[in-house]
């Protein structure tokens, strides 16, 4: 029987509880006095801007505890002290088990291609549709206080605030993961985290337990190769790809389902650090990635990514030697092209690190009508794990009410109460079905059979037999070696050399010989030549036999799309030029460099021996953005050294200047050099090649901002 849905008359809804609170910034007018003990007291008579307790009680003294006499004990009745210390003691929530260290930004997502033939999600029904997004990039293994640039996989999580609710696309900067089944996730994380008995190493996989796990779990090898590649040490969060990892499903209005995988393509291109650079940056600036993202957005250089999808034909999938539901396998773009369907622009930094970064909760289970999940066993486990962990981290099932997590569309249900409930539901209806609206009371929301979320019903998709109840993996998940082999054979020579070097470095930190041998036995199943090179780098005289393989590797065609360097070098946009300026430097040359960088969309930073700057050839003083001793060439994509005679005499004997030049050369960067700069580089044991240019060649220097002198590397750091 139909029931009236006419809303009953109610009192106006309460304010959400943010007006007149810390959410609204204020600046009190105050007078400054000196207290009895010489302490500063800043006092106001502005009642709208006075200091209060969390419950609104105005505070008269924020400098002194309540004591029994000026030199007596502090009294337990001091409610101001107790509340302040109580809140301080609990102002850090339990950090994430993984992905603890993250950097965040706000932005927008705009649909560039409508796809109603694939999904009924409202967001993708019309080109030009737009919604807000919140993005979190993160490292996996380290704690919240670790560094930005270790060798690690990077999280790439995006929260879309759409008119149909929040959609969380929670992925990484690699298209695959280490394991096939969520059952193994605790074991993987335990192995890569700090070793349980000694509490180190932090944010590093170069230790026994991780490589022991890898040697016994060949399904990890594909993502291990990605982690050991340049993808594991991105130059900037702005220069890395993102992936949804899993196979998902899109459902159109007719109920037809399509298997898809998601890709984020950075418009600035892909760029990585080299290992020595990464290691040194951990000391020079352990906030390097966070600072880079924040400063780019503050400067209006908004990073952008295009969202793409691979739409997978089930008949094509059935012919492949791997399973599209296997999260350790990628789908080559040459086989299934990526269709671009929208663009994300990050254009606003967070207002508060804790309220937004620490408290944001991403859930793979947050999807939209017209979307669904596949039977990927890793994805299936994540659907439970992410929801479960929020209660532990955020202390309440009401974490969705925290502003950064709250949907920006109507939200109504019959879930009530719970710790930290901030909403105030009206009326008696906390259940459904009910007939209270007939009596003029509030009846509450109801399900939408047509427009609401519906799961797919084809449980026999891809040949599955839903009548079985088993603890078995499909035989189609058994090939652990073909795709790692494809990945390695898709790389350029420098990239492959870097993988070999990374494996040698990591395994050299493994103290148990049997583990090193077991890893090499697995490597032989991927690429025997790579295994031999790694063994040579470790000083091993004999290779162990190849490990037993459930399924032998097959030679898949290389996928050039997996290589960073096989693509044309990106444009200079978004890169950073460092100009080391000494007294007497050519003023016109410096200005030309600054103008050229600005025209190309790059940023430019002036460095001098003193923060006050340097005196140029025209007599003007150019203020410095950074002091030489604290601004190494590590943080730049290319550098220029320009000085007159006075500056040269000071720079040539400055160890920081020599290191500035030496590291730029060692890290394969372009250098623009004046005659004095050339002598400085010579003294720093640098050489000359097509990436050493005249300091007046502004166009040439800026053109090489996003490139490196890879030929230089063979002489500097010969690979095993």
Q: What residues are annotated to the active site?
A: 99, 172
Tell whether 393 is in a known binding site: yes
Tell whether 96 is in a known binding site: yes
3-state secondary structure of 577: strand
The angle, 0 to 180 degrees and rounded to 10, between the axes of the packed helices 275-284 and 493-508 is 60
353 backbone φψ class: left, alpha, beta (φ>0; ψ -120 to 50): alpha
Pairing between β-strand 626-627 and β-strand 603-608 as defined by DSSP bridges: parallel
Tell whether 428 is in a known binding site: no
Q: Is 36 exposed, middle or buried, given 0-12, 13-18 or 19+ CB atoms closer than 10 A?
A: exposed
**N residues, the chain:** 720
3-state secondary structure of 571: coil
Phi/psi at 154 (nearest 5 deg)?
Answer: -110, 135
CA distance 52 to 55: 7
Question: Which residue is listed with tokens 């580089």?
Answer: 681
* Residue 196 CA, distance from chain mean position: 26
* Residue 509 CA, distance from chain mean position: 26
Give, in degrees to the nearest 5, the angle at Cα 100 between 94 and 103. Answer: 125
3-state secondary structure of 320: coil
Please list the residues that pair with 102 across neighbouring strands: 138
Q: Which of 423, 418, 358 is nearest to 394 (CA)?
A: 358
Phi/psi at 692 (nearest 5 deg)?
Answer: -105, 115
Question: SS3 sequence, 613-665?
Answer: CEECCCCCEECCCEEHHHCCHHHCCEEEEECCHHHHHHHCCCHHHHHHHHHHH
Question: Which residue is listed with tokens 């190493």?
Answer: 201
Tell whether 109 is in a known binding site: no
Other Cβ atoms closer than 10 A to 253: 13
Side-by-side strand order, sheet with 626-627: 626-627, 603-608, 576-581, 638-642, 670-673, 692-694
E strand intervals along 349-458: 371-373
Other Cβ atoms closer than 10 A to 352: 12
Tell whether 471 is in a known binding site: no
Element (H, E) at 592: helix 587-599
252 neighbors 125 (Cβ within 8 angstroms) = no
Other Cβ atoms closer than 10 A to 588: 12
Annotated binding site for heme: 96, 136, 185, 382, 386, 393
Annotated binding site: 96, 136, 185, 382, 386, 393
């Amino acid at each position: 029987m139909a029931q009236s849905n006419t809303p009953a008359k109610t009192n106006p809804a309460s304010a959400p509880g943010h007006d007149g609170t810390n959410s609204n910034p204020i600046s009190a007018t105050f007078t400054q006095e000196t207290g009895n003990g010489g302490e500063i007291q800043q006092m106001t008579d502005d009642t709208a801007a006075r200091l209060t307790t969390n419950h609104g009680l105005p505070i008269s003294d924020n400098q002194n505890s309540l004591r029994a006499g000026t030199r007596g004990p502090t009294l337990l009745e001091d409610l101001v002290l107790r509340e302040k210390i109580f809140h301080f003691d609990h102002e850090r929530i339990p950090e994430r088990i993984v992905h603890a260290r993250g950097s965040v930004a706000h932005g927008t997502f705009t649909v560039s291609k409508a796809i109603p033939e694939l999904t009924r999600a409202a967001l993708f029904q019309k080109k030009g549709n737009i919604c807000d997004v919140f993005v979190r990039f993160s490292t996996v293994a380290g704690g919240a206080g670790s560094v930005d640039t270790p060798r690690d996989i990077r999280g790439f999580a995006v929260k879309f605030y759409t008119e149909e609710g929040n959609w969380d696309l929670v992925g990484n900067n690699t298209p695959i993961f280490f394991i096939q089944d969520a059952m193994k996730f605790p074991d993987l994380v335990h192995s890569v985290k700090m070793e349980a008995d000694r509490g180190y190493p932090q944010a590093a996989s170069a230790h026994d337990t991780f490589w022991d796990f890898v040697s016994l779990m060949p399904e990890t090898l594909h993502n291990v190769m990605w982690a050991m590649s340049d993808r594991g040490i991105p130059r900037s969060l702005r220069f890395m790809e993102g992936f949804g990892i899993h196979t998902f499903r899109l459902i159109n209005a007719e109920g037809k389902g399509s298997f898809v995988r998601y890709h984020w393509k950075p418009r600035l291109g892909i760029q990585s650090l080299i290992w020595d650079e990464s290691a040194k940056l951990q000391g020079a600036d352990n906030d390097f990635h966070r600072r880079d993202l924040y400063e780019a957005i503050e400067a209006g250089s908004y990073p952008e990514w295009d969202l793409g999808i691979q739409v997978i034909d089930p008949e094509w999938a059935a012919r492949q030697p791997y399973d599209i539901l296997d999260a350790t396998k990628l789908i080559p773009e040459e086989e299934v092209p990526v269709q671009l369907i929208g663009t994300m622009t990050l254009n606003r930094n967070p207002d508060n690190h804790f309220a937004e970064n620490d408290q944001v909760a991403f859930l793979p289970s947050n999807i939209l009508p017209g979307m669904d999940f596949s039977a990927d066993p890793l994805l299936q486990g994540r659907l439970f794990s992410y929801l479960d962990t929020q209660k532990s981290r955020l202390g309440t099932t009401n974490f969705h009410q925290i502003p950064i997590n709250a949907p920006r569309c109507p939200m109504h249900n019959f879930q009530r109460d719970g710790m930290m409930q901030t909403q105030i539901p009206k009326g008696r209806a906390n259940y459904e079905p009910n007939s209270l609206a007939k009596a003029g009371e509030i009846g509450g929301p109801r399900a939408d059979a047509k427009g609401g979320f519906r799961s797919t019903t084809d449980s026999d998709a891809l040949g599955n037999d839903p009548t079985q109840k088993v603890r078995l993996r499909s035989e189609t998940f058994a090939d652990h070696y073909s795709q790692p082999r494809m990945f390695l054979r898709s790389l350029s020579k420098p990239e492959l050399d870097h993988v070999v070097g990374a494996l040698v470095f990591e395994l050299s930190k493994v103290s148990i010989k049997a583990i090193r041998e077991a890893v090499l036995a697995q490597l032989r199943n991927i690429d025997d030549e790579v295994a031999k090179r790694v063994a040579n780098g470790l000083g091993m005289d004999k290779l162990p036999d190849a490990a037993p393989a459930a399924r032998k590797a097959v030679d898949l065609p290389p996928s050039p799309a997996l290589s960073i360097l096989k693509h044309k070098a990106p444009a200079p946009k978004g890169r950073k030029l460092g100009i080391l300026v000494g007294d007497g430097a050519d003023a016109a040359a410096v200005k030309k460099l600054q103008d050229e960088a600005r025209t190309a969309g790059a940023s430019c930073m002036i460095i001098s021996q003193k923060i006050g700057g340097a005196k140029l050839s025209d007599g003007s003083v150019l203020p410095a953005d950074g002091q030489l001793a604290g601004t190494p060439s590590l943080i730049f994509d290319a550098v220029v050294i320009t000085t007159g005679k006075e500056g040269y005499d000071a720079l040539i004997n400055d160890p920081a200047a020599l290191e500035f030049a030496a590291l730029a050369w060692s890290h394969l960067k372009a250098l623009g050099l004046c005659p004095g700069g050339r002598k400085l580089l010579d003294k720093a044991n640098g050489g000359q090649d097509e990436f050493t240019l005249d300091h007046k060649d502004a166009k040439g220097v800026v053109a090489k901002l996003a490139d490196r002198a890879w030929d230089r590397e063979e002489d500097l750091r010969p690979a095993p």
